[in-house]
């Protein structure tokens, strides 16, 4: 598979959905950013190359994420640690999969599904945060194999936070405005780390050496054409067992909140973090986009009683059902599936 590697030249302003408050407020960065950032960057550059709104009517971001670019023209995809894996040791040698388990009689819970993901461990431990899977780790997860320390990368190896100070100006006095100071968190990516993106629905193609504008302030990034290793799914095992795990590789926007629609199976368990809110600005209409709650990237869903294998394959290729054509074009609801562990 060929894709575009977007390599920033400077720090990036990757704002989330939180507004600045009073004087002294701090604006946090959202990492990884929403896929709409890459969709907007690519479409804007394509329109500069004579594409039009009409010719981009079928534009769709088909892949988005963080990646490492190699000198041989390939790129290694990186995933946030899926929510069904927990690591508690600082040496990263105790990665464990959650096991969907039926609750014992007499245990009450507000959990809405029949099976609860359980972490079976000899002793309690605090999860290590900020972990990502490298490409070998992704292959291991897709096969349901053990996650080893060599499969894990800490976010500190991929990017660093770089806070920037901002001061409002008084246009009348032509000087700094009193009490209007704030800080904004920016993201400085490590060497050879950038964003990987692929898109369909346009005739013109971006190539090596092209530039795009990313995030707040439109910071520039160079485009490189790279090839991605195909990540295989064990479809035969999924078909024979009749059950599977579904992982969100981009945020999920569902009509039923955290529950995906149109998946050919019975949802029996879920590991999903706190909901996020996505919005944005619509340049065509000059109005803000509606604020919507999303399930974060890395959320994992367990399904039993597979009903239609071909529908499941189509879902991986096209994304989980999404009624909003704008958000679908921006790359939300992408997923991968893997056998049950």
Domain range for 165 is: 2-92+131-228
Q: What percent of the chain has pLDDT over 90?
A: 69
Q: Do residue 187 and residue 84 come from a single domain?
A: yes
| pLDDT the model gives residue 247 | 98
| pLDDT the model gives residue 182 | 75
Mean pLDDT of 103-117: 85
Q: Do residue 161 and residue 204 come from a single domain?
A: yes
Q: Do residue 42 and residue 140 come from a single domain?
A: yes
Which of residues 163, 196, 228 is at a domain's end? 228
Which of residues 228, 250, 277 is at a domain's end? 228
Dist CA 259 CA 263 (whole Å): 10
Query: What confidence category does residue 254 fall into, taking pLDDT thresholds of 50, 70 and 90?
Result: very high
pLDDT digits (tens, 9 = 90+) for 112-130: 899 999 987 777 789 999 9
Nearby residues of 314 by Cβ (< 8 Å), 6 or more positions away: none
Q: Do residue 215 and residue 255 come from a single domain?
A: no
DSSP string, 203-236: SS---TT-EEEETBTTEEEEEEEEEE------HH
pLDDT digits (tens, 9 = 90+) for 29-47: 899 999 999 999 999 999 9
Q: Do residue 214 and residue 240 come from a single domain?
A: no
Q: pTM score, two decimals? A: 0.92
Q: Do residue 138 and residue 283 come from a single domain?
A: no
Mean pLDDT of 181-186: 83
Q: Do residue 49 and residue 64 come from a single domain?
A: yes
139 membership: H or E segment, kind and range? helix 135-143
Q: How many domains does the chain have?
A: 2
Grouping H, G, I as helix, E, B as strand and the rest as coil, residue 117 is strand
**108 falls within a domain:** no
Q: Do residue 210 and residue 252 come from a single domain?
A: no
């Amino acid at each position: 598979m060929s894709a575009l590697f977007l390599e920033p030249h400077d720090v990036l302003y990757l704002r989330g959905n939180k507004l600045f408050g009073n004087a002294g407020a701090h604006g946090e960065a959202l990492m990884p950013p929403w896929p709409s950032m890459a969709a907007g960057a690519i479409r804007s550059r394509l329109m500069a190359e004579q594409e039009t709104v009409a010719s981009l009517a079928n534009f769709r971001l088909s892949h988005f994420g963080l990646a490492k670019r190699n000198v041989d023209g390939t790129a290694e995809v990186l995933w946030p640690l899926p929510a069904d894996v927990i690591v508690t040791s600082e040496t990263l040698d105790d990665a464990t999969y959650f096991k969907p388990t039926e609750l014992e009689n007499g245990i009450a819970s507000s959990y809405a599904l029949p099976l609860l993901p359980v972490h079976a461990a000899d002793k309690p431990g605090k999860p290590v945060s900020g972990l990502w899977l490298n490409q070998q780790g992704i292959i291991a997860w897709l096969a349901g194999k053990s996650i080893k320390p060599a499969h894990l990368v800490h976010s500190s190896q991929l990017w660093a936070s770089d806070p920037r100070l901002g001061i409002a100006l008084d246009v009348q006095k032509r000087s700094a405005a009193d009490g209007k100071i704030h800080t904004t968190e920016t993201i400085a990516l490590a060497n050879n780390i950038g964003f990987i993106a692929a898109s369909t629905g346009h005739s013109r193609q971006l190539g090596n050496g092209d530039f795009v504008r990313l995030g707040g302030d439109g910071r520039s990034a160079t485009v490189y054409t790279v090839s991605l290793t195909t990540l295989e799914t064990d479809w035969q095992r999924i078909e024979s067992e009749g059950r599977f795990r579904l992982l969100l590789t981009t945020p999920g926007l569902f009509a039923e909140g955290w529950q995906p629609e149109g998946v050919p199976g019975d949802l029996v368990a879920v590991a999903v973090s706190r909901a996020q809110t996505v919005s944005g600005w619509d340049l065509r209409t000059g109005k803000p986009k509606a604020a919507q709650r999303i399930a974060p990237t890395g959320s994992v869903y367990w399904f039993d009683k597979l009903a239609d294998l071909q529908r499941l394959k189509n879902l991986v290729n096209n994304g989980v059902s999404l009624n909003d054509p704008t958000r679908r074009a921006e790359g939300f609801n992408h997923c991968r599936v893997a056998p049950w562990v």
